[in-house]
Structure 1
Amino acid sequence: MTASRRIYIANRGEIALRIVEACERLGYESVLGVSSADRETLAAKRATRTVVLGEPRSTESYLNQNAVIHAALSSGCDAVHPGYGFLSEKATFARACAEEGLIFIGATPEQLETLGDKLSARAFAESVGVPVSPGGATETLDEALALAAGIGFPILVKAANGGGGRGMKLVTAMDELASAWQVASSEAAAAFGDGTVFLERFVRAAKHIEVQILGDAHGHCVHLGERECTLQFRYQKILEEAPSTALHPDDRKRLHDYALQIGRGLSYQGLGTVEFLYDVETRDICFLEVNPRVQVEHPVTEAVTGVDLVREQILVAFGGELPFTQADIRLQGHAIELRLTAQDPQQGLRPTPGRLTRWRPAPIGGVRVDSHLYEGYLFPPYYDALMAKLVATGADRAGALALAARAIGRLEVEGPITNRTLLARLLEHPDVVANRITTRWLEEEFAEGRLP
């Protein structure tokens, strides 16, 4: 490996710091582009060099493709790591990087185009023999009404381009469809610049299972096991774990095989996550989407496989060959990730930016803390509410849950209101302990919006 590599990091927060640390371990230099609101972050302090892109709003900094590429070129970078969110799934950005001689640390522009539209991703999944849920695209309300009559209720109305729960509505009866379809289309247009939506059958007893894949430019593609991300609130993940204890062994193999069918069918390069819904009652598996980037929850996979995913992602982007085969991947133990956020559970997880007056994660063996925070840090109102990820690894799920509960219980955090109490109470809830939850469990358990 050469120390002359220089990587531009087109992101912020804990993932930017995670990439800086990966660069340090590889002996590479890192250049971090920040908004004026992020000049004092830990990532900015740790990077080899920091450049200011523009004003705090994302459109004037992190989403400004021209500014990002100019900053990468003017600072002499070889490659751009987009992290997650922002520009990480933009085919136009990946192509612009290539045109300027910059390596995009991610999937190819063609793969991003196929996977970025949920409709084309579904079509590709079907073409390689991966099952999808009944549904389809609709351009008019009349088309939506006709399709819904054929699918049956409940139905999920989803944005064709986008994620994070925006442009997504659950409809339980025909008389709710018109307003949900119009709202979903409007939200999708506002959030992603495309109001196209599609309908799919909603699975009531659903587990959200995703499979991590990693491919190189030499035709190799492996999976690194699955993660379960079922504990969600309004489609926002709260807790993730690896592996899933809800799967029948035969179904686990099916999931892994389906993920590889997609990855190998695409000749996929880099890190990717193939997401599925698993019906615990019927054992049916339905493809959801592919996230062609590093995921927020990647540390739980690292914990049970021992593979540094960000390191491998960087190396394959520079043309490296995977250093292991599928037979080399072995899962050991169980890992649980808690997402600590600056949100108020008593207000439906409303964001609560502000100055952090105390930040003391307890040093506990078996617990990893990924965070960009420090005491005195001003948590800005412009971006997502993620403060830290606490990852507990035990010999089994019970041990990981106990360790996670200990970690969140001993965490000292003051300033912004956080979801810390919510996380602590969820970890001791009988349904969570027994993994009897579904993707809608939290909303149904606390329907009034005031979480525990």
Structure 2
Amino acid sequence: MCVGSTASYLTCRSASTSSSASSLKGRKPHFDKILIANRGEIACRVIRTAKKLGIRTVAVYSEADADALHVRMADEAYCIGPAPSAQSYLRIDKIIDVCKRSGAQAVHPGYGFISENAGFARALVDAGIVFIGPPESAIVSMGSKSESKTIMANAGVPVVPGYHGSNQDPDFLAEQAEQIGFPVLIKATHGGGGKGMRVVHTRAGFLPALESARREAEKSFGNGAVLVERFVERPRHVEVQVFAAADGGCVSLWERDCSVQRRNQKIIEEAPAPGLSPEIRAELSEKAVAAARAVGYLGAGTVEFIFDKDTEKFYFMEMNTRLQVEHPVTEMITGLDLVEWQLEVAAGNPLPLNQEEIPLVGHAFEARIYAENPRNQFLPDSGKLAYLSTPTPTHAFAPAVPITARSASEAMTVAPVVGAMTAPSVRVEQGFEAGAQIGVFYDSMIAKLVVHGRDRTEALRALRGALEEYRVVGVSTNVEFLRTLSGHEAFVAGDVETGFIPKHEASLFPAVGEPDAEVLAQAALYVVLRERPQLTASLWSSLAARRFGGDVYERLITLQTDDASEPIAVHVSPRAQHQFDVTVRAGDSERVFCNISAHLVDSTTLSVTIDGARRSTTVVAHAPSASASERLHVFHGSRKTTLHLPAPSWLLALGGDAHTAARGALRAPMPSVVVDVRVNVGDRVQAGDPVVVLESMKTETVLRALVAGVVRAVGCKKGEMVEEGRELVDVEPEEVSS
């Protein structure tokens, strides 16, 4: 078995190649100290590998990240500016200054921020610091989606038909779109992550979409240039992990499928891609390696392809000149540590393995845990992680995989799982702990959940089980959505495409029903036991659950959900030690539970026995602010139910009219920066007209008028930070104004 370090890779290699002696003889040592120019889970990920190898680490952080996990994990940490990334994580001069002050010999950029900034790579070289990434020339060539497509076409890599030139005149681009044929895809020529990308179906919608894409690209990457290309109607997103070394060695570490996306960003990835034949895998790998060689690549990179489901043809989309967010799934099927490979190559060493030695074993999934609200168009959320409980990891890195040379044809097929890998593996790539603040300045990803199994079916089962163990309170998350997605019939069958979520929207977002009576009963029991722990003491057993006056003790709990217009009454009556009768009344329905056994295991764990079935339920009490009513978050199986305790009297008095009192009012759906205000008081608008543009976590959101009418009030201005729920624009409906 091969485990852990590069030395063990080379030892394993010696068993199958005669060149291992020379590989070991000329090997250069690792760096003594590196700086990680990033934050969150990727900074923590790099630090873990560095610690494994005995390399000291330097963290940089903004004022908003002073207490962040990556700051505490690193050996040294330096503040480089205020929260906005333009004043901190994007400041090349400050990062180089910290390198000099700390003595860091090399910089790992992670992903995002300046990881694909050619100027940063050049500045490091000029300062005598090693950039743990590709050369500046490769970043420049691949950083421009237009230039990269020309290079790829010349290298024999298929590209999507479109306009990739330098003419950025809006009318000219609109003409090119017509020649290509709608629908077309507008895409920023620099950067990634779905920013600056718009699908346009008509000529009339082209110019507004172009303006929006350019503005978003300019803010995200400092470059608003775009390309226009044919939009493939039923595409899959398939990408190939490549690695290249200074001695000319270049390999493919197989492909990943990243098709299921929202807001043009990935949320779940898997390796290998489902349903691909060995022949297609071989061709993808061959073209990806050709792409890397065409630009003199060095280090870790990802060549992304659009795979047309209808024709089974693939086209080069772009090359990401960095380590990808989803690299752990590749690690899980190969047993390799790709961050270690990056450090090895950056130190000047050859690739640890040849192409025929790279394993392809089992199946892996990665689910990205985001602070966002899937039922509100996946808009980002922010706030404090009041409570966080994750599945128990089985591995910090990929499980060990045997390294044996295989023939070219064997290498394209998935090898059987053996030995210690027979049990599913779970990794949690985490950048935040309970108590951390998820702000509006950066990406809203909290963590990545990674699983590996003997085959896709087992890996999916492990993923669903691990998602059921996730517990997050304080911000909305996509955990429950991911659980639904991973169990969806089409996803289980591997029938994936980039339009998967809108295609299956109805089944992915079933109507939210009334909370289960059993959940309500458990919530009430939690409140009673938390407030009156003596109810389970022996005194109650001796008194047969009666007061000294002879009347039966009864506690009324009032609960309310976000969607319910009427409160729910729950009556709890103790019978004997740990025994209760509970009656739940919601509207006209009533459910009675007799002789429930219940006790608190700890402050968040309720143990109950109902109808002979014993279960453990997590209940977390949380008040978002000092003035807010307390919320109870009940985690029951794969579902999280949020209840209010109690609802404020003024809200109860408003009743159902509260939802219709201001139906022309537009409120901020999340904490945001106001990018643009399109209306003034007195303007007349039509339903659907854009009135305010917001930005949160590098994503633009356009708020549109809900009704036709006259703008009665504008409660925000350009450049202002607004909190969630703040009224931004109020439109007086036409029928009222007339």
Query: How many angstroms apart in 2 are the aligned matches of 1:407 and 1:219?
Result: 41
Residues 340 and 390, structure 1, Cα contact 8 Å, conserved in 2: yes
Letter in 1 for 2:189: A
| Match of residue 73 from structure 1 | 100
Following superposition, the deviation at residue 381 of structure 1 comes to 2.4
| Match of residue 309 from structure 1 | 338
> In 2 relative to 1, CA 450–62 (structure 1 residues): closer, same or farther, beyond 3 Å?
farther
| Match of residue 147 from structure 1 | 176
1:257 partner SS: helix
1:427 to 486, 497, 515: 486
User: Based on CA coordinates, which of the two structures has the bigger radius of gyration?
Assistant: 2
Query: How many angstroms apart in 1 are the aligned matches of 2:204 and 2:447?
Result: 41
Following superposition, the deviation at residue 4 of structure 1 comes to 6.2
Percent identity over the alignment?
40
Query: How many angstroms apart in 2 are the aligned matches of 1:451 and 1:354?
Result: 27
1:213-232 to 2 correspondences below 5 Å = 213-232=242-261
Query: How many angstroms apart in 2 are the aligned matches of 1:167 and 1:447?
Result: 28
Query: How many angstroms apart in 2 are the aligned matches of 1:410 and 1:181?
Result: 42
1:180-191 to 2 correspondences below 5 Å = 180-191=209-220
Following superposition, the deviation at residue 141 of structure 1 comes to 2.6
Letter in 1 for 2:390: P
Query: How many angstroms apart in 2 are the aligned matches of 1:237 and 1:3?
Result: 33
| Match of residue 62 from structure 2 | 35
| Match of residue 360 from structure 1 | 389
Q: Paired residues, what number?
A: 452
1:307 partner SS: coil
Following superposition, the deviation at residue 450 of structure 1 comes to 6.9
Following superposition, the deviation at residue 364 of structure 1 comes to 5.4
Query: How many angstroms apart in 1 are the aligned matches of 2:365 and 2:477?
Result: 19
| Match of residue 369 from structure 1 | 428
Residues 348 and 449, structure 1, Cα contact 8 Å, conserved in 2: no
> Which 5+ residue runs of structure 1 have no aligned equivalent?
none
1:400 partner SS: helix
Query: How many angstroms apart in 1 are the aligned matches of 2:75 and 2:116?
Result: 26
Q: Which piece of structure 1 moves more, 253-262 or 354-363?
A: 354-363
Q: Which piece of structure 1 moves more, 65-74 or 377-386?
A: 377-386
Letter in 2 for 1:368: R
1:436 to 488, 492, 495: 495
Residues 30 and 347, structure 2, Cα contact 8 Å, conserved in 1: no
Compute the RMSD of aligned alpha carbons.
1.8
Letter in 2 for 1:302: E
Following superposition, the deviation at residue 119 of structure 1 comes to 0.5
1:423 partner SS: helix
Q: Does 2:415 correspond to 1:415? A: no
Following superposition, the deviation at residue 55 of structure 1 comes to 1.1
Query: How many angstroms apart in 2 are the aligned matches of 1:148 and 1:181?
Result: 11
Query: How many angstroms apart in 1 are the aligned matches of 2:318 and 2:204?
Result: 28
Residues 141 and 295, structure 2, Cα contact 8 Å, conserved in 1: no
Following superposition, the deviation at residue 421 of structure 1 comes to 0.8
| Match of residue 9 from structure 1 | 36
Q: Does 2:171 correspond to 1:112? A: no
1:389 to 440, 443, 448: 448
1:268 partner SS: coil
Q: Does 2:407 correspond to 1:378? A: no
Larger relative contact order (C-alpha < 8 A, sep ≥ 6)?
1
Following superposition, the deviation at residue 284 of structure 1 comes to 1.1
1:85 partner SS: coil
Letter in 2 for 1:130: V
Following superposition, the deviation at residue 197 of structure 1 comes to 1.2
Residues 367 and 392, structure 1, Cα contact 8 Å, conserved in 2: yes
Following superposition, the deviation at residue 10 of structure 1 comes to 0.4
Following superposition, the deviation at residue 71 of structure 1 comes to 0.7
> Which 5+ residue runs of structure 2 have no aligned equivalent?
1-27, 395-424, 512-738
**Any idea what the Cα deviations from partners look like across 1:61-88, whole Å, max 9, x if unmatched?**
1111111110111111100111000110
Q: Does 2:228 correspond to 1:199? A: yes
Letter in 2 for 1:76: G
1:27-426 to 2 correspondences below 5 Å = 27-137=54-164, 138-363=167-392, 365=394, 366-426=425-485
Letter in 2 for 1:86: F
Following superposition, the deviation at residue 2 of structure 1 comes to 5.0
Residues 302 and 320, structure 2, Cα contact 8 Å, conserved in 1: yes
TM-score, normalized by length of structure 1? 0.96
Residues 360 and 413, structure 1, Cα contact 8 Å, conserved in 2: yes
